[in-house]
Chains A and B, each alone.
Chain A
Amino acid sequence: MLNVAVSGRDVFDAFKGTLNFVFRRNARLSAGFTIIFCLLLIAVLAPVIAPYDASTVGLHLLDRPPSFEHLLGTDTLGRDVFDQLIHGLRQSLIIGIFTGLAGLLVGTTVGIISGYKGGWVDDLLKSVTDVFLVIPTIPLLVVLSAFVRYMTVPYMVVILAIFAWPFPARTFRSLVLSYRKREYINMAKLSGLSDMKIVFKEVLPNMLPYVSTTLANTISAAIMAAVFLELLGLGPQNTITLGTMVYWAMERAALIRGLLWWVFPPMIVIVLIFIGLQLINIGLDEVFNPRLRRGVTA
């Protein structure tokens, strides 16, 4: 037992060093992080900020422009746009984060197993991943969504997750293949570490930056696909999401009738989510790659 503690302390101590190193350095990363953090905060506090029930129809007067009482005005069905926006953000983030996490978990496991194990396991998993990557996801998503009679958020997460894992799987497979050849993995083998320990103690810690960038990618891909389906009218019927807001606005020809306060806010928030995630992605990339290069003293 004692010996495990000795090297376990290493992992904790190393984490501390990496974290404070990361946030001191990069403006883009902190910018991206603040955007996403604020959006998450709003989503979590949604019931407090927007207490009215956003989805019931006819509560308020129709087509009211933004006023003190309705910050973002109301829509043709008499619903407060600001409430919809807040609850829509919450649902969209829920879809994005859960799908992203599911895709990441399945993807990294498949990627690491096939990358580290090699042999027929690798061939099998790699061909399955390749088939998924080649088959066009959008048309199949549309067909599958049509399959669900009454679409809800959980269903959407499941359908999107089916196509969320191949990309991280391929990324992590190539990462593990490259990290496996590093000399310090041989050093670990020479120290009698088991395969499991090598993967979790030696390979994974170095791949942390890639885990976070891939998570940012899978979440933004999931939200992109969700909004796509919602704009086709295949989104969840019972709950408001950012995508369904835009869909209902388009159904009611909000653009032509000039109800800009109904159409543009959800679009802006969606784009804000993507920009936040991309800034985090680029920030992490810059922080971790040069470090690896700078790691070699002159």
Chain B
Amino acid sequence: MRNRTESKMDNAVLEVKNLTKVFGSSPAALEDFSMTLFDDKPMITAIAGESGSGKTTLARLILDFIRPSSGEIFWRGRNIHKMSKKGLMAYRRECQAVFQDPYSVFNPFYRADHVFNMAISGFKLARSRAEATRMKEEALEVVGLRPEEILSKYPHQLSGGQRQRIIVARAFMLKPRLIVADEPVSMIDASLRAQILEIMLKLKEDFGISFLFITHDLSTAYQISDRIYMLYRGSVAETGDATGVINDPQHPYTQLLISSIPTPDPSAKWQEEVEVSVEEEMGKGDRVGCKFYSRCPHATQICNESHPPLYPVGDGHQASCYLYRELKRDK
């Protein structure tokens, strides 16, 4: 385990407070989202949701590629939007990323190792070319790639799986505290996907790197993540321990989602037919109350009036649904 000097009183490394982001006149992509990642134990936190749930918007906000409409993001207690240039560089050094599309992450003009060279010269990591090469080779070995096969190649000469592993290697080389992985495996075939997920687990366990794992695929989230946030239309539907939430989902949306995931077992066929209202599909369902109102089997009057807060439904397990309002009172 890396030795970490415990300088902060509460060891919160990343704090997201009431983050909201609205693009143009359409409904909010992300609404009043709060989350805190702690430094004591490296963890993989999954942000799961369908397209349009706001998960990628959250990733782009945390990486400071876009500015929030309201709310703040704190790294080690300091607001990243108010940081000096030097402060932002330190933040970047500790908070790296892996992106979804392995083909668009490489600048086609340069060879594949340019992604390493940028980081090395950007953060001034190496004093000599030999040291730079050694760092690159060490990083590639950690992700199971042979340096001599990779370093001299152009991006279009490499497969999707190889490229993604190079990007993970680059992130690892900077020894960050947190890697924001935005759908790292969704464009990779199932057989290669497992290897990259294994690498992420290894980086967490052996090198103490935490992950923010953005995905639409609950089964991959279930396999490797410790905590999970279920996003629906920009707000948190349910959150808690990954195994708890997926094995015993409380929020009607999570239940529908998990029951719709096709399992590779022919005997467990889908049972009843699922209906989706046309308005819902057309994305016009811009609601005041709970956003799942029009598709929810248990929808009641109050659900249509105000947006349900996150009610505790178990040990660290919360769901934003009025079904659990009574639980709060008698707890």
Contact = CB atoms under 8 A, between A and B. Distances in A.
Task: Indicate if A touches B (C-beta under 8 A).
Answer: yes
B166 to A, nearest CB: 11
Nearest 10 pairs between A and B by C-beta? A192-B122, A3-B121, A191-B122, A191-B118, A183-B104, A191-B119, A205-B109, A184-B107, A295-B156, A7-B117
A296 B156 contact: yes
Nearest to B160: A297
A7 B118 contact: yes
B126 A6 contact: yes
A209 to B, nearest CB: 11
B128 A2 contact: yes
Nearest to B126: A3
A69 interface: no
A252 interface: no
Nearest to A203: B107
Interface string A89-102: 00000000000000
A177 interface: no
A122 interface: no
Contacts of B121: 3-4, 6-7, 191
Contacts of A189: 65, 92
A184 B128 contact: no
Nearest to A202: B107
Contact of B120 (A3, A17, A182, A190): A3
Contact of A296 (B65, B92, B103, B126): B103
Given A10-B111, A206-B107, A186 B99 contact: yes
A5 B92 CA distance: 22
A184 B158 CA distance: 16
A187 B105 contact: yes
Interface in B160-211: 160, 167
A14 interface: yes
A184 B63 contact: no
Interface in B23-62: none
Given A189-B65, A192-B89, A6 B105 contact: no
A212 to B, nearest CB: 15
Chain A contact surface mostly: helix
A288 B157 CA distance: 17
A211 interface: no
B103 A190 contact: no
A206 B109 contact: yes
A240 B54 CA distance: 66
B115 interface: yes
Interface string B128-168: 11001000000000000000000000111111100000010
Nearest to B101: A183
Contact of B99 (A13, A183, A191, A206): A183
B270 interface: no
B99 A10 contact: no
Nearest to A17: B154
A10 B104 contact: no
A55 to B, nearest CB: 48
A191 B123 contact: yes
Contacts of A193: 118, 122
Contact of B106 (A10, A184, A192): A184
B110 A10 contact: yes
Contacts of A18: 109
B99 A3 contact: no
A87 B92 CA distance: 60
A31 interface: no
19 contacts: A2-B128, A3-B121, A3-B126, A4-B121, A7-B117, A7-B118, A14-B110, A17-B154, A183-B99, A184-B104, A184-B107, A186-B97, A188-B118, A190-B119, A191-B123, A192-B92, A192-B122, A206-B108, A206-B109
B150 to A, nearest CB: 15
A296 B158 CA distance: 10
Contacts of B65: 186, 189
A292 interface: yes
B114 interface: yes
Contact of B92 (A2, A6, A17, A190): A190
A201 B126 CA distance: 20
A5 B121 CA distance: 9
A14 B113 CA distance: 12
Interface string A261-298: 00000000000000000000000000000001011110
A10 B117 CA distance: 9
B111 A2 contact: no
A187 B92 CA distance: 11
A193 B96 CA distance: 14
A117 to B, nearest CB: 15
B93 interface: yes
Name which of A13, A189, A192, A295 has the most chain B CB atoms within 10 A of its CB: A192
B127 interface: yes
Interface in B65-123: 65, 89, 92-93, 96-97, 99, 101, 103-111, 114-115, 117-123
Contacts of B155: 295
Contacts of A14: 109-111
Interface string A3-44: 111110011011001100000000000000000000000000
A292 B97 CA distance: 25
A297 B159 contact: yes
Interface in A38-75: none
